[in-house]
Amino acid sequence: MGQSLTRKLIESHLVAGKAEAGEEIGIAVDQVLLTDTNGTMSWLQFEAMGFPRAVPGRIVSYADHNVYQVDSRNSDDHRYMQAVSRRYGAVFSKPGNGICHQVHMESFSIPGQTLLGTDSHTPLCGAAGMLAIGAGGLDVAVALGGGPYFFQMPQVVRVHLTGALQPWVTAKDVILELLRRLTVRGGSGKIFEYGGPGLRSLLAAQRMTIANMGAELGLTTSVFPSDEVTRSFLTRLGRGEDWRPAAPDEDATYDGEIELDLSSITPLVALPGSPDRVVPVEDVAGTAVEQVMVGSCTNGSWHDMASVTEVIRGRRVHPSISFVLFPGSHKILETMAREGLLADLLAAGAIVSESSCGACAGIGHVPAAGAKSLRAFNRNFSGRSGVKDDEVYLCSSVVAAASALTGVITDPRTLGPPPAVTLPPRFASSTAGFVEPDGGGEILRGPNIKPVPLGEPVAEALEAPVVIKLGDKVSTDDISPAGAAVLVFRSNIPAISEFCFKYVDADFVARAKAAGRGIIVGGETYGQGSSREAAATGPMYLGVRAVIAKSFARIHRTNLINWGVVPLVFDDPAAWAGIERDDRLRLPGLRAALAAGEQVMVVNARTGAVFTASCVLTPREREILLDGGILAHTKSGRA
């Protein structure tokens, strides 16, 4: 029986468990990437656990989110990241050098290796035949110390591609089509492995877009083979020697299969609120917008920037539109300058921002209140742009470019034949944005960098009020918002906790503090979206000791366990309807039930209703949770 590429990658790195769907496995980590959001805290956690050195062969710390150093706080974090990277053997990527996923793919991706990152879009490097997974900060801190990364073995689903993309249709439309079919819950517990005859028509940049935004499906990761397309990509970057083939066996078996005819896909747009609210572009054509953007780790490639340039060359951006581009890396921006793209973009009225995550995380270019924004980004959860009740549509780079010219959402097929986009024979090779480690130097901590708190051991019994009740699809943006005002506190848990549920319930923080101990009740896919650990640490710091939901997103569930917050799943989802905010719930025998792997009984003091909830844990997770999280578990000496 042949093996899938995914199984080959996992089994070649397997250090614990059996690679059977649903079983917990541990894999060795070859590479680690850290951002200046979750990654700063990972380094602090790494230091708190007392590791003598960082072990993985390639570690890169990226300053890519909080690059607008409007006061000393972001600069303090970057100085700390650079110093700790220098001391422990990590490369530091300076502000402006680019978005971690794009830069890592260009500079460090090696087919056949594993990559663990502190950002949920780390799977982008799966486009190079890597096993690239996003995780919470504590899991990454453990990997820095040489520990394996543990997760449940997903089902491996083959996405069989046939046909070829039609004119004006892009890789962004491919992933939007999958979101339209499957929703944000459709990839939970799965890895998508792409193959089939349609694969050969997709450039590396197009594969990157699909692999990157698979995070919105809830996938553990996405995997593409390493083939001649991969070799061409690395060769243009001057890294041909890093290429190696990686492919499934011809008779490989899979846990499922999805057929996708690329020629049947049309330009698509996701409506505001969720990436899976996908409709054909013609359904929203004519909708007036004030702001259009192209970039992020999903659409910041050379191919995206060149496609936009070809569409607007010799034309003018509509007077009512602010059109902003975020090239994914310094290499791309430098190549754009050398190839003459910047002059055409500037002449057309486009704004070319520095290479950063920028507006995708609500940092800069925040839309006006009540304005509609059209973005070739990856997420459009309410409030993510930095303003409450925003209306953000998601689209491809060419839909964005066409709309920037007209002032309304526009079907690019109305512009006539699509312009040709060619790849440069060589991309810029500058490494000026990287700082290599040398093992020395003082590690300075600015006043905004606070010590890492410990979680509390799970109590024998828990009695606490429901401090907030929520519905389905609650994202980590809902729990701990994006935006410059919040993200500046990513190394300061006491401060960032003050923003918990800011746009959902402005009184949550005060209510949680008054309660002392609290319980959160949620619906399906609680904690979807970003891997941001603050969505677990903030509520934990405010006294939340359990979350009862219909289901959890993978990374957030792990983050809760890693911080000693009990993630419980309703055994009967109908019990959710009988709970109101401020109800006092009693969980007698909580610790004993968790230790024994039994159902947890929950009593609603207001109604007298009794229901059960489950917390299915591996033996390793059980020890961590009962001790109050990984840091507390480590300090107890039982790790």
pLDDT, position 67? 85
CA gap 379, 26 in Å, rounded: 30
Question: Cβ neighbours of residue 512 under 8 Å, at least 6 residues apart?
Answer: 467, 500, 518, 539, 542, 543, 544
Tell me which residue of 404, 357, 360 sits closest to 385, measured CA to CA.
360
pLDDT per position as a tens digit, 218-260: 999 999 999 999 999 999 999 999 999 999 999 999 999 999 9
Longest dimension (CA), the chain: 71
Q: How far is CA 339 from CA 26, 240, 258, 297, in A?
A: 45, 22, 39, 22
**Residues forming beta bridges with residue 156, ordered by sequence position:** 191
CA gap 3, 13 in Å, rounded: 15
pLDDT, position 639? 65
pLDDT, position 161? 98
Q: Is 547 helix (H, G, I), strand (E, B) or coil?
A: strand
Q: Are strands 256-261 and 221-223 parallel, antiparallel or unpaired?
A: unpaired
Its pTM stands at: 0.94
Tell me which residue of 89, 134, 140, 132 sits closest to 111, measured CA to CA.
132
pLDDT, position 289? 98
CB 355 within 8 A of CB 99: yes
List the chain residues with pLDDT less than 70: 637-639
pLDDT per position as a tens digit, 352-373: 999 999 889 888 889 999 999 9
pLDDT, position 203? 97
Domains of the chain and CATH, by start: 5-264 (3.30.499.10), 268-415 (3.30.499.10), 462-636 (3.20.19.10)
